[in-house]
């Protein structure tokens, strides 16, 4: 069933699940619940309403803003969590909703938000998030799948976001630990299934249905057998298949890799440089030299690709205007070195993500001007600049940094109010006590932090964070060390 194509609701589902990869998709959950005629607030659901569960990076990193809408969050890998969750659900069918949630909340990796209560100081500062009874653990830790297979597409259709492509997950997580990177920190350890038992069977399955294969993962070329995978895909009997790759580490690009990609219908190469400034690359722990960037571009050019796409970030902690100039200067030199290739810069604003060493840093307002500056300098040079909206990055930060007091704001901005101005107006209305507080009866919404505090301010590392009770892959004191290390290198 495709929820965005007007298919009618399932008549009596027992479970309703959603995986969220992007903060701004949060309000969609509420639309989908409404479409399915499920009460949007978890405390309004009755015994025969479905259990609403979720997972994915957004809900694993910081489930709190959506906590009042969700019954169960699966923290970590679905391969590890889903079988026991489904098994329990089928065993607990005859119990009341309250009893089922109480039992589910004691299973490792299963977080039941309604069984936790935030405690606030009189000024609205979050003091703790505590279980409401002694059988529920103080914190819930993310679960990790260590089997020799990762995921691949189960449904291939022209109606999908990537039409007719069979996606194969080549690696999970990334060992590089760039200090802002959720895809790395949240999903550690780095895992790479073997070619013979994991990747080849997954690709072969897709080839029974389609000729388009997408290789996915945060850092696919770091799979220890990636070169062998390409050699296997380059065999003559696979002629006619088209290959697509997610972004690759520039330092791992080889001329052989580009030849195979061109042969298999790839048109472009995507690399993330983050910044043209060496100082910024050192700050974020991006172990990438200028020489490696130019070498990757040279191979792309010589191998016959048509385009190269470079990703960058502005507004990083300690960034100065000179760092933006360094990015512009590097891109211009790159364009002059490979004039034949279409060069695109995709550039976003730094947004702090939970469980990363930069989680305590705010969104820098200077980023807005820096995005404009890069666009203005690079477009006349024939470089296609695609800046992400600064305004929506601010809303992303609101969703990634808030606690469950944000829920009435999310409920309010849906539909016609889901605009940048609508978010700020709803937030201010909540602070003034003008929004109905249907979810957090004991908490006054006037205690919401200021917009400035939640979006832009840097926070002390001793602050109790909304995701304090969610244990990620890396302990808090290690994250503090990584943050200190990053900033020390800038001194
Ligand atoms: S190389 Fe890319 S995926 Fe890996 S940690 Fe850095 S930004 Fe994240």
In the chain, domain spans: 3-141, 165-397
Tokens of 392: 């929506």
For ligand 1, say whether the CB of 273 is within 6 Å of any of its atoms. Answer: no
- Average pLDDT score over residue span 209-224: 94
pLDDT computed for residue 250 by the predictor: 94
> How far does the centroid of ligand 1 lie from the alpha carbon of residue 273, in Å?
10
For ligand 1, say whether the CB of 293 is within 6 Å of any of its atoms. Answer: no
For 54, 135, 246, 378, the CA distances from 166, given in Å and listed in that order, are 24, 43, 13, 35
- The total number of residues shown for the chain amounts to 491
Give the tens place of pLDDT for each residue, 427-462. Answer: 998 888 877 655 554 456 668 899 999 999 999 999
- Average pLDDT score over residue span 332-357: 97
pLDDT computed for residue 66 by the predictor: 97
For the chain, report the end-to-end CA distance as a whole number of angstroms.
54
Nearest atom in ligand 1 to the alpha carbon of residue 219 is 3
Cβ-Cβ contacts under 8 Å for 491 (sequence gap 6 or more): none
Q: What share of the chain is helix, strand, coil (3-state, %, to 5)?
A: 40, 15, 40
**Percentage of the chain lying above the pLDDT 90 cut:** 84
Distance of CA 204 to the CA centre of its chain: 28
Q: What residues are paired with 270 via a beta bridge? A: 309
**For residues 313 and 371, what is the distance between their CA atoms, to the nearest angstrom?**
9
Per-residue confidence band for 122, with pLDDT thresholds at 50, 70 and 90: confident
For ligand 1, say whether the CB of 184 is within 6 Å of any of its atoms. Answer: yes
- How are beta strands 51-55 and 126-131 bridged, if at all? unpaired
Give yes or no for residue 328 having a pLDDT over 80.
yes
For ligand 1, say whether the CB of 274 is within 6 Å of any of its atoms. Answer: no
- Average pLDDT score over residue span 26-39: 92
> How far does the centroid of ligand 1 lie from the alpha carbon of residue 179, in Å?
9
Per-residue confidence band for 158, with pLDDT thresholds at 50, 70 and 90: confident
For ligand 1, say whether the CB of 202 is within 6 Å of any of its atoms. Answer: no
Q: Provide the whole-model pTM.
A: 0.94
**For residues 188 and 131, what is the distance between their CA atoms, to the nearest angstrom?**
26
Tokens of 170: 């080549």
Cβ-Cβ contacts under 8 Å for 432 (sequence gap 6 or more): 446
Give the tens place of pLDDT for each residue, 49-101. Answer: 999 999 999 999 999 999 999 999 999 999 999 999 999 999 999 999 999 99
Per-residue confidence band for 419, with pLDDT thresholds at 50, 70 and 90: confident
pLDDT computed for residue 414 by the predictor: 82
> How far does the centroid of ligand 1 lie from the alpha carbon of residue 146, in Å?
21
pLDDT computed for residue 157 by the predictor: 85
Nearest atom in ligand 1 to the alpha carbon of residue 177 is 5
Q: Are 314 and 371 within 8 A, CB to CB?
A: yes
Nearest atom in ligand 1 to the alpha carbon of residue 285 is 6
pLDDT computed for residue 2 by the predictor: 63
Give yes or no for residue 247 having a pLDDT over 90.
no
- Average pLDDT score over residue span 111-131: 94
Q: For residue 345, which of 291, 293, 280 has the smallest C-alpha distance?
A: 293
Tokens of 267: 């048109």
Per-residue confidence band for 161, with pLDDT thresholds at 50, 70 and 90: confident
Nearest atom in ligand 1 to the alpha carbon of residue 284 is 6
- Asked if the bond preceding 189 is cis, omega within 30° of 0, the reply is yes
For ligand 1, say whether the CB of 250 is within 6 Å of any of its atoms. Answer: no
DSSP, collapsed to helix, strand or coil, labels residue 200 as helix
Nearest atom in ligand 1 to the alpha carbon of residue 286 is 6
> How far does the centroid of ligand 1 lie from the alpha carbon of residue 186, in Å?
12
Q: Are 149 and 195 within 8 A, CB to CB?
A: no
Q: For residue 76, which of 55, 91, 92 has the smallest C-alpha distance?
A: 55
Half-sphere exposure for 240 (CA within 13 Å, toward CB): 5
For ligand 1, say whether the CB of 187 is within 6 Å of any of its atoms. Answer: no
For ligand 1, say whether the CB of 177 is within 6 Å of any of its atoms. Answer: yes
Give yes or no for residue 306 having a pLDDT over 90.
yes
**For residues 105 and 73, what is the distance between their CA atoms, to the nearest angstrom?**
10
Half-sphere exposure for 392 (CA within 13 Å, toward CB): 10
pLDDT computed for residue 435 by the predictor: 76
Our CA angle for 368, 125, 453, nearest 5°, is: 10
Instruction: Specify the residue with its C-alpha closest to ligand 1, atom 1.
Output: 176
> How far does the centroid of ligand 1 lie from the alpha carbon of residue 404, in Å?
29
Instruction: Specify the residue with its C-alpha closest to ligand 1, atom 3.
Output: 218
**For residues 56 and 91, what is the distance between their CA atoms, to the nearest angstrom?**
25
Cβ-Cβ contacts under 8 Å for 472 (sequence gap 6 or more): 60, 61, 142, 185, 186, 354, 355
Give the tens place of pLDDT for each residue, 363-394. Answer: 999 999 999 999 999 999 999 999 999 999 99
Q: For residue 297, which of 346, 229, 251, 263 has the smallest C-alpha distance?
A: 251
For ligand 1, say whether the CB of 173 is within 6 Å of any of its atoms. Answer: no
- How are beta strands 116-120 and 110-111 bridged, if at all? unpaired
For ligand 1, say whether the CB of 308 is within 6 Å of any of its atoms. Answer: no
Identify which of 219, 222, 286, 296 to mutate to test ligand 1's pocket (most ligand atoms within 8 A of the CB): 219
Tokens of 383: 């470089």
pLDDT computed for residue 159 by the predictor: 82
Give yes or no for residue 417 having a pLDDT over 70.
no
Average pLDDT, the chain: 93
**For residues 273 and 452, what is the distance between their CA atoms, to the nearest angstrom?**
29
Concatenating the DSSP letter of every residue in 277-307 gives: -HHHHHHTT----HHHHHHHHHHHHHTT--E
Per-residue confidence band for 246, with pLDDT thresholds at 50, 70 and 90: confident
> How far does the centroid of ligand 1 lie from the alpha carbon of residue 219, in Å?
7
For ligand 1, say whether the CB of 216 is within 6 Å of any of its atoms. Answer: no
Cβ-Cβ contacts under 8 Å for 354 (sequence gap 6 or more): 61, 62, 182, 186, 400, 401, 465, 466, 467, 470, 472
Concatenating the DSSP letter of every residue in 441-468 gives: TTS-GGGSPPHHHHHT----TTSPPTTT
Identify which of 175, 183, 280 to mutate to test ligand 1's pocket (most ligand atoms within 8 A of the CB): 183
Q: Are 397 and 352 within 8 A, CB to CB?
A: yes
Q: For residue 77, which of 479, 356, 474, 473 has the smallest C-alpha distance?
A: 473
Q: Are 283 and 318 within 8 A, CB to CB?
A: yes
DSSP, collapsed to helix, strand or coil, labels residue 480 as helix
pLDDT computed for residue 3 by the predictor: 63
> How far does the centroid of ligand 1 lie from the alpha carbon of residue 190, in Å?
11
**For residues 31 and 107, what is the distance between their CA atoms, to the nearest angstrom?**
29
Looking at domain 165-397, its CATH superfamily turns out to be Aldolase class I (3.20.20.70)
**For residues 186 and 13, what is the distance between their CA atoms, to the nearest angstrom?**
31
- How are beta strands 140-141 and 126-131 bridged, if at all? unpaired
């Amino acid at each position: 069933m495709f929820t965005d194509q007007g298919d009618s609701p399932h008549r009596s589902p027992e479970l309703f699940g959603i995986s969220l990869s992007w903060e701004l998709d949060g309000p969609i959950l509420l639309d989908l619940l409404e479409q399915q005629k499920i009460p949007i607030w978890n405390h309004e659901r009755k015994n025969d309403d479905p259990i609403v569960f979720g997972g994915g990076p957004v809900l694993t990193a910081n489930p709190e803003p959506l906590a009042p809408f969700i019954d169960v969050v699966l923290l970590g890998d679905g391969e590890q969590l889903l079988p026991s969750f489904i098994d329990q659900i089928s065993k607990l069918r005859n119990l009341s909703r309250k009893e089922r949630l109480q039992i589910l909340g004691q299973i490792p990796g299963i977080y039941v938000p309604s069984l936790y209560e935030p405690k606030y100081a009189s000024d609205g500062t979050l003091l703790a998030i505590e279980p409401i009874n002694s059988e529920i653990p103080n914190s819930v830790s993310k679960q990790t799948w260590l089997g020799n297979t990762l995921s691949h597409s189960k449904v291939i259709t022209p109606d999908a976001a990537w039409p007719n492509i069979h996606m194969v997950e080549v690696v999970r997580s990334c060992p590089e630990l760039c200090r802002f990177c959720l895809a790395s920190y949240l999903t550690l350890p780095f895992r790479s299934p073997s070619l013979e038992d994991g990747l080849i069977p997954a690709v072969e399955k897709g080839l029974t249905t389609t000729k388009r294969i997408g290789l996915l993962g945060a850092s696919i070329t770091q799979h220890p057998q990636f070169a062998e995978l390409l050699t296997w895909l380059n065999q003559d009997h696979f002629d006619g298949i088209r290959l697509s790759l997610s972004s690759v580490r520039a330092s791992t690009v080889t001329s052989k890799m580009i030849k195979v990609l061109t042969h298999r219908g790839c048109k472009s190469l995507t690399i993330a440089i983050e910044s043209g400034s060496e100082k910024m690359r050192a700050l974020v722990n991006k172990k990438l030299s200028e020489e490696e960037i130019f070498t990757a571009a040279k191979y792309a050019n010589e191998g016959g690709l048509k385009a190269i796409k470079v990703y960058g970030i502005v507004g990083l902690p300690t960034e100065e205007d000179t760092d933006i100039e360094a990015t512009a200067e590097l891109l211009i030199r790159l364009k002059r070195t490979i004039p034949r290739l279409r060069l695109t810069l995709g550039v976003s604003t730094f947004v702090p993500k939970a469980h990363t060493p930069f989680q305590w840093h705010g969104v820098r307002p200077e980023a807005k001007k820096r995005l404009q500056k890069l666009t203005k300098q690079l477009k006349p040079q024939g470089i296609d600049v695609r800046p992400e909206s600064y305004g929506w990055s601010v809303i992303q930060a609101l969703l990634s940094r808030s606690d469950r007091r944000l829920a009435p704001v999310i409920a309010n901005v849906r539909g016609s109010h889901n605009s940048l101005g609508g978010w700020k107006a709803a937030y201010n209305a909540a602070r003034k006590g003008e929004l109905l507080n249907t979810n957090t009866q004991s908490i006054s919404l006037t205690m919401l932090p200021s917009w400035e505090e939640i979006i832009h301010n840097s926070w002390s590392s001793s602050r109790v964070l909304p995701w304090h009770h969610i244990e990620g892959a890396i302990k808090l004191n290690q994250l503090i060390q990584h943050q200190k290390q990053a900033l020390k290198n800038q001194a």
